[in-house]
């Protein structure tokens, strides 16, 4: 798995991409998060990924702390593994939602599908937005960004 992106490993975006910069990795996270897949065969069938690549990516995701491996056993069969998102893995729903929004609006197609995010207990729909501390929503087109030390961003 490639690691270094040259000059900017202090950058939070580059740090994310060191883990997530491989498409299969994010698609595996997507399957776990949205389809609820946990088993090797489920990932393999949903993604059409070669078994050796899937093994490699699952191992990488475990090493990086995004998945844990659990053992399960069905009656009369030998024990098998399943792969479950950790809290760090589940927290990627922000990234998954952002990618989904962009794909849905900027690469629209009539038969498209996207994850709909809802609050677990109440089924209330939510969407991703930029908000101020007062809770006002701000359109993505009205924003500027500048690089800032993380220690100045505590609480953001």
According to CB under 8 A, which residues from 132 to 151 bind a copy of itself?
Answer: 132-133, 135, 137-138, 140-151
Q: Which stretch binds a copy of itself (CB under 8 A): 55-63, 72-80, 83-91?
A: 83-91
Who contacts 37 (Cβ-Cβ below 8 Å, separation ≥6)?
31, 43, 46
| Window 41-70: residues binding a copy of itself (CB under 8 A) | 46-49
Torsion of the alpha carbons at 69, 71, 77 and 78, rounded to the nearest 10: 90
Choice from 17, 41, 68, 72 touching a copy of itself (CB under 8 A): 17
Let me know: does 8 contact 14? Beta carbons within 8 Å.
yes
Q: How many residues bind a copy of itself (CB under 8 A)?
A: 91
Q: Are 38 and 83 a contacting pair, CB within 8 Å? A: yes
Q: Which of 1, 59, 80, 130 binds a copy of itself (CB under 8 A)?
A: 130
């Amino acid at each position: 798995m490639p690691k270094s992106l040259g000059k900017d490993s202090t950058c939070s975006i580059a740090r994310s991409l060191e883990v997530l910069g491989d498409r299969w990795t994010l698609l595996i996270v997507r399957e776990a998060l949205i389809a609820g897949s946990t088993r090797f065969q489920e990932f393999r069938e949903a993604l059409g990924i070669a078994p050796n690549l899937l093994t490699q990516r699952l191992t990488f995701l475990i090493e990086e702390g995004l998945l844990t491996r659990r053992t399960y056993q069905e009656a009369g069969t030998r024990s098998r593994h399943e792969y479950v998102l950790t809290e760090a893995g589940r927290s990627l729903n922000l990234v998954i939602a952002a990618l989904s929004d962009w794909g849905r609006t900027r690469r629209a197609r009539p038969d498209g599908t996207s994850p709909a995010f809802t609050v677990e207990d109440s089924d209330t729909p939510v969407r991703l937005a930029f908000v101020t501390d007062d809770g006002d929503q701000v359109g993505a087109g009205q924003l500027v960004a500048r690089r800032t030390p993380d220690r100045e961003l505590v609480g953001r």
